[in-house]
Chains A and B, each alone.
Chain A
Amino acid sequence: MAETVELTFESSGLLTTIQDQGRTGYSHLGVPSGGALDKAAARLANTLAGNDPGTPVLEITIQGPKVRFDGGPCIISITGADISPSLDQIPARLNAPLRVAPGQLLSFGKLRSGCRAYVAVSGTWQVDSWLGSSSAFLQDPTNILSKQLISKGQKLTISAPAGKIATPPAGISDVKGGLKPNQKVRVIPGPEYHQFSRQAIECFLKREHIASNDCSRMGIRIEAPLDGVHIEHGLISSAVVPGTVQVTQSGHCVLLLGDAQTTGGYHRIANVISADMDTLAQIKPGDSLRFDLLNIDQIRNI
């Protein structure tokens, strides 16, 4: 008979959610794609724990929870942001499979890099799903996914935990979430790019932008407005996707993430390329970023 592992959240952290690779294909009904914001980190965590890459994980934001493991032993792995994880007060390695014995406590400390960490646990997660995904949906219309937003005292059951341990690929232990020094976020022009003044475009591309405190799973708002934005009217509501950079009438840029609405009325100056979406997920309030403008043909093989 398969053993089970029971996780008990002695504290919830700032925002801890259950996420998988998201629910694509329902955006015509207003449902965001959602899922782990740093999808590569979530897949890596699962692979290291011996799971299918699309298995749910915990997405941990800036400040981590305290999680007690009971039941059988299991394999976990932690990827993405470095939030100083430890098992029973002993620092735990990132990007490596870790054996967890019954009764052990996983906790987190200081945020050293990135914004979002991912914890995979070997086995089958006993969680609800909706429209093909068990990802939390914070604007949950149905309330069936309310347990996907972790609260203090909550328990989570994972069955058949005896996963096979994957060997970490070479060099993977150095992979940490967040922008590397001098790394720019690559964008291509958005539908309204040419409607912006030369001054606004220069400001967008040359300035060092700061992520404001107004950051969530829906998007990142940039602190200072662009110069030279003269938008008189909003657009007739039209599609937006994760990565769309909207500019409000006041000139503020908002970079949309996985839980964003599917339509909006703001001008779309640019879109972040797919390959840089995971990097974007690791930007936290106060971080600075620069944009690098490419055209669609330059990114064919990225």
Chain B
Amino acid sequence: MRASFPFSAIVGQDEMKLALMIAACDPGIGGVLVFGDRGTGKSTAVRALASLLPTMSAVAECRYNCDPEKVSPTCPDCSLADREPSKPKNIPIPVVDLPLGATEDRVVGALDIERALAHGEKVFEPGLLAQANRGFLYIDEVNLLEDHLVDLLLDVAQSGENIVEREGLSIRHNARFVLVGSGNPEEGELRPQLLDRFGLSVDVETPRDPKQRIEIMRRRDEFDRHPDAFVEAWKRKNSALRSKITKAQKALGDVDLSDDMLEKISMLCIALGTDGLRGELTMIRTARAIAALGGASDVTTKHLHTAAPIALRHRLRRDPLDDAGSAIRVERAAEEILG
């Protein structure tokens, strides 16, 4: 199988890289939406994310990635009567790809038809939602995803549980995942309900800086011609990034957020008219993650500045008659309130 382009070798696109690292650092933020021009390496970056993630402990042989500390009582694998006590093992945090053209049976899971026909057994074959449990679910061209799959995803993302009632099977299992989506807005808009599910959003543009462009061309050329050697050459930088994320994860709980900063966040959200509390909560978590990734012990206005566009730009009320992009509106408000 073809190696994926190393995350650390991606030139520029700092905001996109930061957003993905924040999501890796604090999955609770609720995923990332990457929207933008063609040929900007959106999907390259997301696919490279897997190599940055630490491992996690899961019940061995559990196809739903149950946490050994908190085995789900409804887990179809772990709740089997004849099952031995859970044995933990370390697995890579899953990054599951939901390709366009996927059928519903593969997404939610379905009756394992071979076993049903050959042995007359009624066994559930888990789908992508099971594989993605406790990990990431990536949808490229998310704005082109078929409507019935979007409905299904929204439902599961809401409840954190996948409930399957089909072919006489009645299954429920945990399906908590971080949604990562990418797409080109020229191909169509994203449904607002789905947009809401993303914690962070980034707009990517084609780099215009000549030096950056040449560097991208050079690295891409090297990767295309000698993928293994290229991946090897970037291994050290990649593992440095990985340990940065692991460290930040550990430090996250100790990052201080003063009342002053809290107030600024809430003023910012009010000024922008973001609906509900979600904007504020995401701002808080994002700013913390940014501080932790930067090795800081307190959240400062600098962190808020960085956090504001990615945490808030997709939460503004749509105003098609306002020509200023949402990024600019966030920028303006941040400038005014944070100074």
- A and B bind: no
